[in-house]
Amino acid sequence: MSKILVINGSVTPSQNSVSQELGRRFLEEYKKNNDNDEIIHLDLHKEVVGNNTLSQENFATYWSETEGMKFINQLKEVDKLIIIAPMYNFNISGLLKNYIDHVALANQTFSYKYSKKGDAIGLLDHLKVQILSSQGAPKGWYPWGDHVAYLQGTWNFMGGKVADPILLAGVKTEPLSALTPSKMVDSIQEEIIKKAAKF
């Protein structure tokens, strides 16, 4: 049995959220093959790590706060991580960025000790990661705003084994924009089934 942590990085209300529908659908397919796995849901709206932004005022204590270590330890205790991460203004939500700022901590999730010059060693090398994302524009419209590549690089840096992400792009353009979130996700159902089975 595996422990799965699901992080909701969406700020859109659940009933209107394409990425949260994608998350529900992925988990539905995942459970068909892994019914005994423990699923832990983390809603960043309700956690200090989602709402506490790094600033001049808290810089000296930001990484010594117990909240950060609580979630670093959670990452060390789970086997798999699913990240629900839609695009907002060409990047991930502030909630998810705040979370990453808390858990990306030297000597806890990565280390330069014993590494080659300029390289780091990721310390979450037990963790399998699946990124589930959506964006309003078609893929490639904003090459400077590749939030999925940012997430892949960040979790690879911390040692995670990042599976091929699922990106539902173009949800604010035709023909997808005329559909409900559920119907939009229907358009990539085969990809969801295939990747959930591998994860």
Q: Is 18 marked as a binding-site residue? A: yes
Q: Is 58 annotated as a binding residue?
A: no
Is 99 annotated as a binding-site member?
no
Q: Is 177 annotated as a binding residue?
A: no
| Cβ proximity of 147 and 9 under 8 Å | no
Q: Has 87 been labeled as part of a binding site?
A: yes
19 assigned binding-site residue: yes
Is 49 assigned a ligand-binding role in the annotation?
A: no
3-class DSSP state for residue 179? Answer: coil
> Distance between CA 134 and CA 18 in Å, rounded?
7
111 is in an annotated binding site: no
Which residues are annotated binding-site positions for FMN? Answer: 10, 17-19, 87-90
Which residues are annotated binding-site positions? Answer: 10, 17-19, 87-90
